[in-house]
């Protein structure tokens, strides 16, 4: 559907001009939007699917789902429709490469760049999840990196509402086996935490150059997603930072309850890693990773092979748990799920089971939508078997908002910030004209009310008195002399020109501010330099009445004197008979022109 499609116009608006991609369901074309005069991408459903109502419904669902998502990290969907037996979606055209192409051509990404990309993906998913939409097919093919380095998530073709609505049926596994979550691989209901697992796989691939689980048989890959633990990234590349590896492994926890509970939470940990701060994810302990067992034989096709793998998986997991419970003869207690509880409730629950509350770490929220005062993570994870009396460490969400310290003295502002818990304060002095602001905070960053953490750098600008100096007297000096003297005194100089018959050309007529006036150091002084006398061309007023001649001369910037002459012709009475100087002569502005006016005898 390549050549014949080029030049085709959909909806009398979108003209296809170049095929730029192809997928399992559709081809993608670069097109011109003839109405708005812009380039767009048009996804056209393959013709073999156009007669299948389920595929059409899925295609339509993608358009409707993505059209409601307006976010800088999500590819915009502008329009959708059908043209004959062809169905299409019109999307934002983004110049760049998909992440899979980048990994294949460039190999492993630097940890910092991988974390930045993952954080932007989390930002996109956070927005989608807030709109009750789960992507369910996060993979590097669906992540685009623009030529400007911006991350764009695309292809919500199998996305569905978080409440389970949508076009898929229970038990039907959709998505790409190498990137789907264990619960998605088993055809179970999924929520936003399934996307978090996929981001973990994607981050694993960016760091190591390979996916954690792979096999020519997709059923085997799905089995591994459910049954096997991934090899820690540091085993493949020891240079991977332990804190970033901890984020990967937490995102890829088999149990959704042990993962990050929201894309926002994972993004926050990635940003903490990028800022060199401690992360909430627990680092992988060296030497504790057991080799993953080989999967049992699985039939390559059909539903029965998958069910058999799932049954074996459940039996193996159950046997492992029973072995832990009965090993050693000592009483063991399963750590409860404390997430979402208050610190006090968590303590009471632990003590009721014979366990103790260990270290309590603060996590300061970065988004107002996050709950405050509740457990956001725990160590060890819930379900772990501990002897009675052992401790469970928790991380509790806290809220710290930037106080308003503007107008306070430097000392009082610092005291208020320290009391609030801020540990990093930067003081910057800035000169002010208002003496009342000297020694006071005139601005702050972050602004008041913003969510911060104790480690957030706070910048305070303190008003400082301006040093004032007297302006030198440069009147009568040449322009160059005046500029040199003023600049030596630390002033900036602007020059204006004005005609003057009293001050020689090139000399300073006046200055502003005035000489000896005290002004802030570095102020601008304006000097007005003479261009010499203004020259005026004498107009011709001969034949004009006396009053007309006076007006003409005054308008030209000239003065006048009148000499009356007796005339015999009555028509010359009151008119200018002659003038000195004659018309066209160039004279100084204000020069007195003598006019001769006729009068009767």
> How far apart (Å, rounded) are the C-alpha atoms in residues 477 and 355?
90
Of 27, 137, 155, 269, which is the active-site residue? 137
Please answer whether residues 506 and 530 qualify as being in contact, where contact means their C-beta atoms are separated by less than 8 angstroms.
yes
Cα torsion 362, 368, 369, 370 to 10°: value is 0
Between the CA of residue 308 and those of 173, 176, 301, 305, 316, what are the distances in Å?
15, 21, 12, 5, 12
329-331-334 Cα angle (round to 5): 125
Which single residue is written with the structure tokens 């030596």? 488
- 405 vs 96: CA distance, rounded Å: 45
The residue written with tokens 């004005």 in the block is 498
Contact of 135 with 127, CB cutoff 8 Å: no
Nearest CA to 174 out of 184, 182, 164, 166 is that of 184
Residue 190 to residue 171: CA distance in whole angstroms? 11
Cβ neighbors of 141 (< 8 A, separation 6 or more) are 98, 99, 100, 155, 176
Check if the beta carbon of residue 221 is closer than 8 Å to that of residue 230. Answer: no
Distance CA 580, CA 600 (A): 22
Q: Is 137 part of the annotated catalytic residue set?
A: yes
- Around Cβ 554, how many Cβ atoms within 10 Å? 11
Catalytic residues: 137
């Amino acid at each position: 559907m390549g050549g014949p499609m080029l030049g085709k116009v959909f909806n009398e608006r979108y003209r296809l001009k170049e095929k730029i991609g192809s997928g399992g369901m559709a081809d993608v074309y670069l097109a011109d939007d003839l109405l708005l005069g812009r380039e767009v991408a048009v996804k056209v459903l393959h013709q073999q699917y156009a007669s299948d109502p389920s595929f059409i419904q899925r295609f339509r669902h993608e358009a409707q789902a993505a059209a409601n998502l307006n976010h800088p990290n999500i590819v915009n969907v502008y329009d959708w429709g059908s043209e004959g037996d062809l169905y299409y979606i019109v999307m934002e055209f983004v110049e760049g490469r998909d992440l899979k192409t980048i990994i294949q051509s460039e190999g492993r990404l630097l940890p910092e760049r991988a974390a930045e990309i993952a954080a932007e993906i989390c930002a996109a998913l956070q927005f989608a999840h807030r709109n009750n939409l789960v992507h369910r097919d996060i993979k590097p093919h669906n992540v685009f990196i623009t030529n400007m380095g911006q991350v764009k998530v695309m292809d919500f073709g199998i996305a569905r509402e978080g409440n389970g609505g949508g076009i898929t049926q229970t038990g039907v596994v959709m998505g790409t086996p190498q990137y789907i979550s264990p619960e998605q691989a088993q055809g179970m209901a999924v929520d936003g935490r399934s996307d978090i697992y996929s981001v973990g796989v994607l981050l694993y691939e960016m760091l190591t150059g390979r996916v954690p689980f792979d096999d020519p048989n997709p059923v085997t890959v799905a089995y591994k997603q459910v049954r096997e633990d991934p090899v820690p990234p540091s085993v493949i590349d020891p240079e991977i930072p332990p804190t970033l590896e901890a984020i990967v492994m937490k995102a890829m926890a088999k149990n959704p309850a042990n993962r990050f509970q929201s894309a926002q939470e994972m993004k926050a940990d990635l940003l903490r890693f990028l800022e060199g701060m401690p992360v909430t994810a627990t680092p992988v302990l060296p030497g504790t990773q057991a080799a993953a067992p080989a999967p049992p034989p699985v039939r390559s096709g059909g539903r029965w092979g998958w069910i058999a793998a799932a049954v074996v998986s459940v039996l193996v997991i159950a046997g492992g748990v029973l072995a832990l419970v009965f090993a050693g003869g000592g009483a063991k207690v399963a750590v409860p799920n404390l997430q979402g509880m208050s610190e006090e409730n968590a303590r009471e629950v632990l003590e009721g089971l014979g366990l103790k509350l260990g270290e309590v770490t603060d996590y300061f929220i970065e988004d107002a939508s996050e709950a405050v005062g509740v457990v956001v993570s725990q160590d060890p994870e819930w379900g772990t078997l501990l002897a009675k009396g052992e401790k469970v460490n928790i991380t509790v969400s806290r809220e710290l908002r930037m106080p308003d310290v503007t107008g306070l003295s430097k000392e009082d502002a610092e005291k208020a910030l320290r009391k609030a818990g801020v540990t990093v304060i930067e003081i910057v002095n800035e000169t002010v004209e208002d003496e009342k602001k000297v020694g006071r905070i005139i601005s702050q960053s972050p602004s008041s009310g913003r969510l911060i953490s104790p480690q957030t750098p706070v910048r305070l600008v303190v008003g400082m008195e301006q040093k004032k100096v007297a302006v030198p007297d440069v009147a009568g000096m040449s322009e160059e002399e005046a500029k040199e003297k003023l600049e030596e005194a630390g002033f900036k100089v602007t020059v204006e020109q004005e005609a003057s018959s009293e001050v020689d050309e090139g000399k300073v007529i006046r200055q502003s501010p005035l000489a000896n006036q005290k002004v802030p150091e570095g102020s601008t002084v304006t000097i007005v330099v003479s261009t010499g006398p203004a020259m005026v061309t004498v107009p011709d007023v001969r034949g004009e009445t006396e009053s007309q001649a006076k007006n003409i001369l005054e308008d030209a910037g000239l003065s006048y004197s009148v000499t009356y002459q007796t005339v015999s012709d009555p028509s010359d009475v009151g008119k200018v008979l002659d003038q000195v100087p004659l018309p066209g002569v160039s004279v100084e502005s204000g020069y007195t022109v003598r006019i001769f006016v006729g009068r009767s005898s």
